[in-house]
A and B are shown apart, each in its own frame.
Chain A
Amino acid sequence: MSKSRADKAARIRRLLDTEGEAVKSNTRGFNQGRYDSVAKLESYEELKDRARAIKEDAIERLPELIDELTQTIEENGGTVYVADDAADANRYVREVCREKDADRVVKSKSMTSEEIEVNEFLEADGIEVVETDLGEWVLQVADESPSHIVAPAIHKSREGIARLFNETFDPDDELETAKELTMFARERLLEKIKGADVGMTGANFVTADTGTIALVTSEGNARKSAVVPETHVAVAGVEKVIPAVEDLQPFVELIGRSGTGQDITSYVSLLTPPVDSPTVDFDDPDTPIAADGDRDFHLVLIDNGRFDMREDEQLKETLYCIRCSACSNVCANFQSVGGHAFGGETYSGGIATGWEAGIEGLDTAGEFNDLCTGCSRCVDACPVKIDIPWINTVVRDRINRGTDHEFDWLVDGLTPDAEAEGVDLQKRFFGNFSTVASVGSALAPLSNWVASTDVSRRLLASTLGVDARRDLPSFERETLVDWFESRGPRVSASEAAREAVLYPDVYTNHAMVDRGKAAVRALEALGVHVRVPDVPSSGRAPLSQGMLATAEEHAHDLYAALAEHIDAGRDVVVIEPSDLAMFDREYEKFLAPRSHERLSEGSYEVMEYLYGLLENGADPDALRGPPATDPGVAYHAHCQQRTLGLAGYTEAVLGDLGYDVVTSDVECCGMAGSFGYKSEYYELSMDVGSELEAQFSTRETRHRTVVASGTSCLEQLDSLLARPSRHPVQLVAPGEN
């Protein structure tokens, strides 16, 4: 393993050991809460569409809205300052504090203030800055950085916090329970708030029509920080501005549910500062509180790269993000390792790549961008429908173009890619896997034997970072295409109910040939005339490595090869869910709209297709049902298949044929293509996989036949479990006669 890979692996291992448990249980709790909470919402999809539309419109009209907002706030009696960058914002905040002779600022967490590091700046000016969000305060006391967008101290256990408080504050009675810790913090922070000169908050949203700031919180400290002191400074990114008060409604209904799974947080403050509330001056405890009109309000809107992001077609969507954290909580890798690995300077989780690339630059984003495997589970979770994996891929592509390489000769022969120089060798190897696979097949079984020798494994590990602990795919000498060509179709076109092209993806064609054969037999059993043409690969492999130009080339070639079949009214049947996901989603970026639409509409996942045939009158008895002593089936649906809403078809077909199916509900197997092969991520991949292993090793499941739809899932399951796993079509397909 190279030094940098080894360092990265070591860092991940350390975080898995120290923070993994706390992050795991908390994020999984939030994620489950999200499922439960959104399920209760009748208008969930409609709310998401509205939220998305409001954000699209707001970012489109941003300059205009900022003008309107500025005018409104000035009319209200407050001030708006649009800061170019962190330094500019900090200077402004310091000016306000100096004017007020402020000794102490109390803050209610604002991610943006974290972004500009205002605490350090003000402290250098002799001002005490106190975080009043409990999680944020814990981190301030511990001198640690946040590890999650909405629950910054998610990596700390109750025991850890108790130890920290007891050591730091030496209270009369040792603190132990969550309640004791909370009350201790409440008392201490209340004293701080009472004597504060300035209250600083973030803003989840700001409405241009009224100048209303929406703060979504549960603790009550944001309200205290904003209302108790005379001066309120709100710091927010420019992207937080939305047109009108009514536009807040979908967000209010979505944000808590999406993040922590609460239907709504305890408080949604809609403050239009300077607010009417009287200040509460604890230095003058005996005069009745009364509004005296002395309130002062400053809204600091921060650009810091956002206007450039707005001009960037690919990064622009990031600005729609409402920082709910759903994409972190649903992410299997994040669940294991948390935001200290999966995050940059400020932001963490799936969308952090977009934020950090826009605000800090590609270097920062590059440090954790690879932790997104493109599994797409976050796509459904995001309340504003951001295509987070796409942003990660685009940024990966940009990062690729800035790296240098000494071993390029090693894969050059294998990499007929369209990438300009600079793409990491490991990425080029995995990105050109279709070529690796054809060479592998052509040389099999020799290639398998060579690949398994110590020398080659060492070479693969040292140059390409392929982890030696992972079994390599074993290539078949006869590809699926060759097999079919010599065998020929068994249902003639003239007598067929339908005609289908079985798409021979790289793995099915070269390595998992048996599942391809099974698919052919199952389709034919239901009266389909099948073809297995020799067509180019989908481009999934280069896409995951962030090699966009190569992926795009594949897309055009493949569409060209399939177009004729689609014209002839043939259905495209896909075995590998990640390829179908490409056709449905990523190809939208590569192909002409009409082409994309035709391919996407004409393609089906194999079990989805069998389901359709059965629903339309095909005879289920032609497929294989369970034997009398069937132990039942343990099924793991591929992540992209789930995102596309296709997992149910496999369950339905198996169920209809009489199989007893248990489906895993873990978000991801932890493999996601090349991810688990890479030595720096091998352990994380296995840690994520352990959850799937556990679900398939219970008393209820441990004897069941294991089936999974995706290649990577199958590979991961084979390394996790002692018993073998198969594609579901292999279960139901009749034998070859």
Chain B
Amino acid sequence: MATGTVTRFEASLDRLDVGWTHATTDEFESVLADVATEPAVGTPLPFDVALPDWVNTTPTPADLDEATTGVTAAALGIASYGSVVLPSTTAGGEPVSLFPDLHVAVVRTSDVVPGMPEAFEWFGPEFREGDHSSAIIATGPSATADMGELVTGAHGPKAVHVVMLDE
């Protein structure tokens, strides 16, 4: 992936006040330990890294309720918006990314695409004949301005952190 795209992704995340960190596969565990808090829940990552033991990957509803961090994989990063694409999975990527106060999205640096057109080039075939048929384009934390000013964490996470995996 062109460095320009990744730089743009980082700049977009900065603008959204979303934290980001790069990690090699070796560094991944310690980076995660730095950004996440326990109790943490997660879904297995489809990458060359595994989630550490302290991340509960078979959460119950009660675990979801208590967790302060949710870790899930993102299929894509979208540089121009600072969005991450979160596929719905049978392992529960949707609730895990939604209930805890902090969502940590793990995306491969090579999966960062420049913009929406490239993202939709992925969605079309993926939804029609790929592994996933649903996904969320998530951009920053959940938010509302309905109570008079912008507040994050309306129903979903109050904060988001993106870990870019440099494989």
Give the B-binding residues of A (Cβ under 8 A): 76, 132-135, 138, 151, 153, 157-158, 161, 178-179, 181-183, 185-186, 189-190, 194, 209-210, 212, 218-221, 223-224, 227-228, 244-246, 248-249, 252-253, 260, 263-273, 275-278, 280-282, 284-291
Contact = CB atoms under 8 A, between A and B. Distances in A.
Interface in B108-167: 116-117, 119-121, 123-124, 127-128, 132-151, 153-157
B124 to A, nearest CB: 5
Contact of B60 (A210, A263, A286): A286
Contacts of B150: 178
Number of chain B interface residues as a range: 35 or more
B137 A270 contact: yes
Contact of A178 (B95, B121, B151): B151
Interface stretch (B2-10, B27-35, B45-53, B86-94): B86-94
B64 interface: yes
A267 B147 CA distance: 19
B154 A221 contact: yes
B149 A266 contact: no
A220 B98 contact: yes
A212 B147 contact: no
Contacts of B92: 277-278, 289-291
B118 to A, nearest CB: 10
Contact of B134 (A133, A228, A272): A272
A288 B58 contact: yes
A151 B134 contact: no
Contacts of B137: 252, 264, 267-270
B62 interface: yes
A210 B133 contact: yes
A693 to B, nearest CB: 27
A288 B96 CA distance: 12
Contacts of A135: 144, 146
Contacts of B156: 219-220, 223-224, 266-267
Contacts of A280: 61, 64, 95
Contacts of B120: 245-246, 248-249, 252
A178 B90 contact: no
Contact of A182 (B119, B133, B147): B147
Nearest to B56: A288
A288 B61 CA distance: 7
Interface string B74-108: 00000001010000111111110010000000000
- Which 6 pairs between the two chains have the least Cβ-Cβ distance? A158-B148, A220-B156, A220-B155, A220-B142, A135-B146, A291-B90
B99 to A, nearest CB: 8
B39 interface: no
Tell me which of B63, B83, B144 has the highest count of chain A C-beta atoms within 10 A of its own C-beta.
B144
A220 B160 CA distance: 13
Contacts of A224: 98, 155-156
B44 interface: no
B19 interface: no
5 contacts: A134-B154, A219-B144, A227-B94, A268-B137, A277-B93
A151 B94 contact: no
Contacts of B132: 276
Contacts of B145: 151, 260
A151 B146 contact: yes
B147 A158 contact: yes
A42 to B, nearest CB: 10
A179 B143 CA distance: 11
Contact of A276 (B134, B140, B144): B134
B40 to A, nearest CB: 15
Nearest to A269: B136
Contacts of A218: 142-144, 154
Contacts of A290: 90, 92
Given A227-B95, A270-B127, A284-B61, 5 more contacts: A157-B148, A223-B94, A277-B93, A287-B60, A289-B60
A266 B155 contact: no
B133 A267 contact: no
A281 B139 contact: no
A267 B136 contact: yes
B147 A178 contact: yes
A368 B83 CA distance: 40
B60 A270 contact: no
Nearest to B96: A289
B120 to A, nearest CB: 4
A221 B144 CA distance: 11
A233 B137 CA distance: 21
A266 B138 contact: yes
Nearest to B129: A210
Contact of B127 (A182, A212, A221): A212
Contact of B154 (A76, A182, A272, A276): A182
Contacts of A133: 146
Contact of B149 (A134, A178, A209, A245): A178
Contacts of B151: 178-179, 182-183
A156 to B, nearest CB: 9
Contacts of B146: 133-135, 138, 151, 153, 182
Contacts of B123: 245-246, 248, 270
A57 to B, nearest CB: 17
A630 B119 CA distance: 56
B148 A267 contact: no
Contacts of A178: 147-151
A614 to B, nearest CB: 41
A194 B121 CA distance: 36
A272 B123 CA distance: 12
Tell me which of A190, A228, A248, A267 has the highest count of chain B C-beta atoms within 10 A of its own C-beta.
A267
A293 to B, nearest CB: 9
Contacts of A275: 88, 94, 133-134
Contacts of B143: 218-219, 266
Contacts of B61: 194, 280-282, 284-287, 289
A262 to B, nearest CB: 9
Contacts of B138: 266-267
A189 B62 CA distance: 17
A194 B99 CA distance: 11
B123 to A, nearest CB: 5
Contact of A245 (B65, B89, B91, B124): B124
A146 to B, nearest CB: 12
A186 B64 contact: no
Contacts of A253: 116
Contacts of A161: 147-148
Contact of B155 (A219, A264, A269): A219
Given A263-B81, A267-B142, A288-B60, A183 B127 contact: no
Contacts of A264: 81, 83, 137, 139
A449 to B, nearest CB: 54
Contacts of A263: 81, 139
Contacts of B149: 158, 178
Contacts of A158: 147-149
Given A134-B154, A178-B151, A212-B127, A272 B133 contact: yes
Contacts of A270: 123, 127, 134-137
A288 B59 CA distance: 5
Nearest to B123: A245
A138 to B, nearest CB: 7
A161 B148 CA distance: 9
A151 B81 CA distance: 23
Nearest to A228: B95
Tell me which of B88, B128, B155 has the highest count of chain A C-beta atoms within 10 A of its own C-beta.
B155
Nearest to B150: A178
Contacts of B90: 276-278, 290-291
Contacts of A286: 60-62
Given A277-B89, A278-B90, A289-B64, A212 B133 contact: yes
Contacts of B135: 270
A280 B91 CA distance: 12
Tell me which of A181, A185, A189, A277 has the highest count of chain B C-beta atoms within 10 A of its own C-beta.
A277
